[in-house]
Amino acid sequence: MLDWTVFGPALRAPTGMPAAFRMPSRRPRLRDGVREPQTAYAAARGIRLGIGNTCRPQKRRKAANRCEERGPLTAKVVNEPRRHHYVPQWYLQRFADSRGFLHVYDTHTKTWRMQRPNKIMRINDYYRQSWAPEGTDPVQLERFLGAELEPQGQQAIDKALLGTGSLDADESAALLTYLEFQWMRVPRQAQRVKARLRAFVLEQAPPDIREAVVSGRIGIHIEDFVRFDFFRDAMSSLSPYFMAMDWEVVESDGEMPFITTDSPVHFYNPEIPPPADAGVALAGTDVLFPLTPNRLLMMRHPAYDNGELEALDPITDLPEDVYIRVSRGRRMNREQVVRINYVMLKLSHRTAVANDRKSIAACLEFAATGRSPKEPAD
């Protein structure tokens, strides 16, 4: 189901993988003591078939109902954090203007707004695992992110990418894990995984079922726990490729700032135009991660830069242990920054933010005209 060029070969998860990533998946629900009609494959993977509106997910139960249902966990449920960010507040704050606001552009509605970093890129109960066994904290992943992964990732970024310090083994692991999980946890990837699973189900379904789904007589609903299965399956599969790449922190020349988006770790390959996702195991794929309005982390496969491989050739030689060197000093002019920003805008889910409206407006003009603002016509 999952493209190996995106996730790489199956690698064993690190021994120290937090329990938050090892939560057992929810089993197919029962209705009146009988399992809902679905194929064995669908049942195992959280897919539910239904006629008409029965295929739609039920509305969330309110917190009070959850407390009553959970019994012994009532105190914990009451204290559950509800507003879960899929892009951290500390990161977004770096892209705020002097008044502490983000300039936000919605690519779906084509509208602008101003928002504080704590009010954006969050979804209520996004990491809540309602199928957790009794006695297990259903928001342990959210707590782990806020208490460990995000602070450790921030410290590593500040030390090695924005500063010039060296990282020890634990700090390096924290940085790689942060980048890996930031790529996979966003709604864009959740939507993508569910779409692939839906396509796989349709491919395997009998012709009459496939026709009924296509015509709308039968709907497919994929349970949310599939997203957490994706976390478990994909964790540690990207880091070997990150380690094999050349890392560079590039700077804007100050005329045009970098933007960031609701999917801030971007994979871009010149042979796979966005918004299509490129695989990090392809030689021509770059990893783009804005650090601040003035700095961007760019990771590239050296075999492609050296001309040894073409853009769509797979990377097959991965080092087991490597010392990552971060190069600095290259500056991008206005046109280069606009082009990078345009790629990141196209690879977003629906939201782009910046400390200045002009940087996003320049992307929109580039999309409309094919050239950056003030760039002379040929």
pLDDT tens digits, 22-62: 444 443 333 333 333 344 444 444 555 444 433 344 444 44
User: What percentage of the chain's residues is helix, strand, coil (to nearest 5)?
Assistant: 40, 20, 40
pLDDT band at 78 (very low <50, low <70, confident <90, very high): low
Quote the CA–CA distance of 11 and 282 in Å, as a whole number: 17
CB 26 within 8 A of CB 38: no
Quote the CA–CA distance of 341 and 192 in Å, as a whole number: 22
Strands (E), the chain: 30-31, 34-35, 47-51, 83-85, 102-106, 111-115, 122-124, 218-222, 246-252, 260-261, 266-268, 286-292, 295-300, 326-332, 351-354
pTM greater than 0.75 (yes/no):
yes
pLDDT band at 334 (very low <50, low <70, confident <90, very high): very high
| pLDDT exceeds 90 at position 90 | yes
pLDDT band at 71 (very low <50, low <70, confident <90, very high): very low
pLDDT of residue 124: 94
pLDDT band at 222 (very low <50, low <70, confident <90, very high): confident
pLDDT digits (tens, 9 = 90+) for 232-288: 888 889 999 999 999 999 999 999 999 999 999 999 999 999 999 899 999 999 999
Quote the CA–CA distance of 170 and 156 in Å, as a whole number: 10
pLDDT of residue 164: 84
Rounded (5°) CA angle 239-242-243:
90
